[in-house]
Amino acid sequence: MNKKIKTTDLNLNVSAGTMIYIDIDIFRFLYDEEIFCLTIEILNGENFEFYKEFDLPEGEVIVDHNDLKRFALNWIFKNVEIVKEAPEVPAQEQYKFVPEDSSGRYPKAEKCSNYLTCSDNHGHASLFNQPE
């Protein structure tokens, strides 16, 4: 920069502030300790973009990264819905139960469609608590 900025008055008082942040998945939570302001950014490609800015709720105090992490996780649980794209398979279709005998033992699980579960006769540990 070859040009200098022109001013009629220059105050040389220096102010410093602290800003802390944490990233959780695609969310970045930034907290400015000087103005008690919290900013949420969301990752878009390679860059974080502004999503929301607000003052801390009354009684909420952020002193360090752990406080910010607690606040961020609570915000995520209240405001983010996690969905699955895979279709849900009812429990009845996941396992096929076959009673072994009338001795009080629980039924064993067998292979059913794409779900593989183990029963005693496969040589693996039983999935069910068997009475002694």
Domain ranges of the chain: 19-79, 86-132
Tally Cβ neighbours within 10 Å of residue 62: 20
* CB distance 96 to 47 below 8 Å: no
* CB distance 22 to 68 below 8 Å: yes
Residue 37 to residue 53: CA distance in whole angstroms = 7
Q: What letter would DSSP give residue 22? A: E
Rounded to the nearest 5 percent, the helix, strand and coil shares of the chain are 15, 30, 55
Place of tokens 């502030």: 17
111-129: per-residue pLDDT in tens? 333 333 334 343 333 333 3
Q: What letter would DSSP give residue 112? A: B
Tally Cβ neighbours within 10 Å of residue 130: 12
| pTM of the predicted model over 0.85 | no
74-105: per-residue pLDDT in tens? 999 998 887 776 445 543 344 344 444 454 44
